[in-house]
Structure 1
Amino acid sequence: MIDTTRLEPNETPVMLVTGSAKRIGAAIIEAAHTRGYRVIIHCHHSKIKAQMLAAKLNDVRPNTAAVIMADLAIINDSDLLNQFVQDVVSTFGQLDVLVHNASRFYPTPIGTIDSAQWDELLLTNAKAPLFLSQALLPYLKQQQGCIISLLDIHAQNKPFNSYTVYNMAKAAHQMLVQSLALEVAPDIRVNGVAPGVNILPDADSDQAIDLDHQQRIVASIPIQRVGTPEDIAEAVLFLAKASYITGEIINVDGGRRLTLAGGTR
């Protein structure tokens, strides 16, 4: 446990990554920590993985990684949201980079869509990024910091078939990036990273992809391989330091957007 009573703002930047106990979020956390950041690992259900990641990083540099657990639905309760903000800021005394990574992803074929799916997909992919950004803006402004959002190449006029609600939510998130980049400049920069196929669903998940399908996906990517979480992390860390870039979306997709028809991943 980090002793927050002894921590004061300093020159070592602090990055918060939502949904960062595993997969792409964890890769961003590890890349940032390697470059000297202090990191805040946010999780909802993956407490053990988050704590293991923090312990690993703190073994390398003591008191440089912390875990905050929260359901992003806290944005619907002003008291809970305020408490979350205070927990974030008190952890290391400042916040320099906010990375919106947490996301829900699943198909919503027309004719089967219900309000619960709408609420969940819009919450994680659009509403939470907006309200978390708004709540943390004063602290990011104090540090002349930045916001980086994980988007999707399917949000850019190439919708993923049968994922209508997800596509809509990610498109809204992309517009949030561009809108905020105008509104909060010059104090805070806001950018996005749009993955293509940078990580496959877990083999035991309801989104698992069989080997034949995986091979078809690879064949459709000009670079001829599935990307890695580390590819995304490198783009995020670049944007965190790119002081003259705001309102931009970097595609990290191996060129897949050039051949994408919208039907498969």
Structure 2
Amino acid sequence: MPHFKQNFRNLSYANITTAPVMLVTGSAKRIGAAIIKRAHEKGYRVIIHCHHSQQQAKALATTLNKKRDNSAAVIVADLTLVNDSQTLSQFTQTVIETFGQLDILVHNASRFYPTPIGGIENTQWDELFLTNAKAPLLLSQAFLPYLKAQQGCIISLLDIHADNKPFSNYAVYNMAKAAHRTMVQSLALDMAPHVRVNGVAPGVNILPEADSDQALDSTQQQYIVDSIPMQRIGAPEDIAHSVLYLVEASYVTGQIITVDGGRSLTLAGGYN
């Protein structure tokens, strides 16, 4: 059985416009939602993908559809669907049938947690590589014919720690994001000249949620701010701005924009 479902209101082919369509994985909240909002402001039709955050996704779509009718849709799906070719094909068709086309695919969905050496388990490897490497690759492949038809693009959300400056105790996550970074560069070659592929590498652009097991206290947050040349935490909107730049930069492919307030200039890896 398919692991996904659609939620949208009054959608019919009679209502479809010529506005380009963007799908953002993991976009019910935080950075993903900021990308969706920015794209919608620029006139794009948007597909909000989520797995567990259905309430937030539906609320976001409702808000956007009030601003412009039939411009936002929600698709609920567990990205483990990429492990089954038939389910992946059904998901792909569901996305395309939502608005009749796909112009931009943004890989934002990601799992992030520590995997200290000595305690790494196969399930952690599978989960972190699924969201941060395998799903982006197989989704890109599945949507290639539709993106090619629109002369579209793919944009991946990466991490400054994936570029030779690994984060301590996050070996599996670091490896998965490094694989994703190489995917961007590889697909930029393999999909040219019809589809552009680029990436955005955030630094500290959003803090862990206050009620999460990785929440930071005020002292930790101040330490982070002090380490950033711009002397402030970034915002999801900073990432969204760069994503939309790459969408519109028709002669840019295979590039990764670092959006970190200068943090990578001082980063030595580890916790520094």
Question: Do Structure 1 and Structure 2 share a fold, with TM-score over 0.5?
Answer: yes
Match of 1:183 in 2: 190
**Is 2:70 the counterpart of 1:72?**
no
Match of 1:34 in 2: 41
Contact 2:199 2:256 (8 Å CA) reproduced: yes
User: What is the identity, as a one-letter code, of the residue corresponding to 1:263?
Assistant: G
More displaced stretch, 8-17 vs 25-34: 8-17
Distance 1:153 1:222 in 2: 15
- Against the structure 1 CA distance between its residues 20 and 199, is the aligned structure 2 distance closer, same or farther, given a 3 Å change threshold? same
Match of 2:116 in 1: 109
Alignment size in residue pairs: 265
Distance 1:171 1:10 in 2: 38
Match of 1:144 in 2: 151
Distance 2:196 2:131 in 1: 21
Match of 2:180 in 1: 173
Distance 1:18 1:139 in 2: 17
Unaligned runs of 5+ in 2: 1-7
Correspondence 1:97-246 to 2 at 5 A: 97-246=104-253
User: What is the identity, as a one-letter code, of the residue corresponding to 1:155?
Assistant: A
Distance 1:255 1:178 in 2: 23
Contact 1:21 1:41 (8 Å CA) reproduced: yes
Distance 1:82 1:258 in 2: 42
Contact 1:199 1:228 (8 Å CA) reproduced: yes
Contact 2:160 2:201 (8 Å CA) reproduced: yes
Shift of residue 2, structure 1, vs aligned partner = 3.5
**Is 2:99 the counterpart of 1:82?**
no
Distance 2:60 2:258 in 1: 27
Distance 2:246 2:14 in 1: 26
Distance 1:2 1:203 in 2: 33
Contact 2:199 2:255 (8 Å CA) reproduced: yes
User: What is the identity, as a one-letter code, of the residue corresponding to 1:170?
Assistant: K
Contact 2:15 2:70 (8 Å CA) reproduced: no
Shift of residue 9, structure 1, vs aligned partner = 6.7
Contact 2:11 2:70 (8 Å CA) reproduced: no
Match of 1:58 in 2: 65
Distance 1:149 1:56 in 2: 26
Q: Secondary structure at the match of 1:90?
A: helix
TM-score by length of 2: 0.95
- Against the structure 1 CA distance between its residues 225 and 199, is the aligned structure 2 distance closer, same or farther, given a 3 Å change threshold? same
User: What is the identity, as a one-letter code, of the residue corresponding to 1:129?
Assistant: P
Contact 2:22 2:104 (8 Å CA) reproduced: yes
- Against the structure 1 CA distance between its residues 2 and 28, is the aligned structure 2 distance closer, same or farther, given a 3 Å change threshold? same
Q: Percent identity?
A: 70
User: What is the identity, as a one-letter code, of the residue corresponding to 2:216?
Assistant: I
Q: Secondary structure at the match of 1:207?
A: coil
Paired residue for 2:51, among 44, 53, 69? 44
CA offset digits 1:70-121 (Å, max 9, x no partner): 0000000111111110110000000000000000000001001000000000
Q: Secondary structure at the match of 1:148?
A: strand
More displaced stretch, 116-125 vs 75-84: 75-84
Paired residue for 1:22, among 4, 29, 32? 29
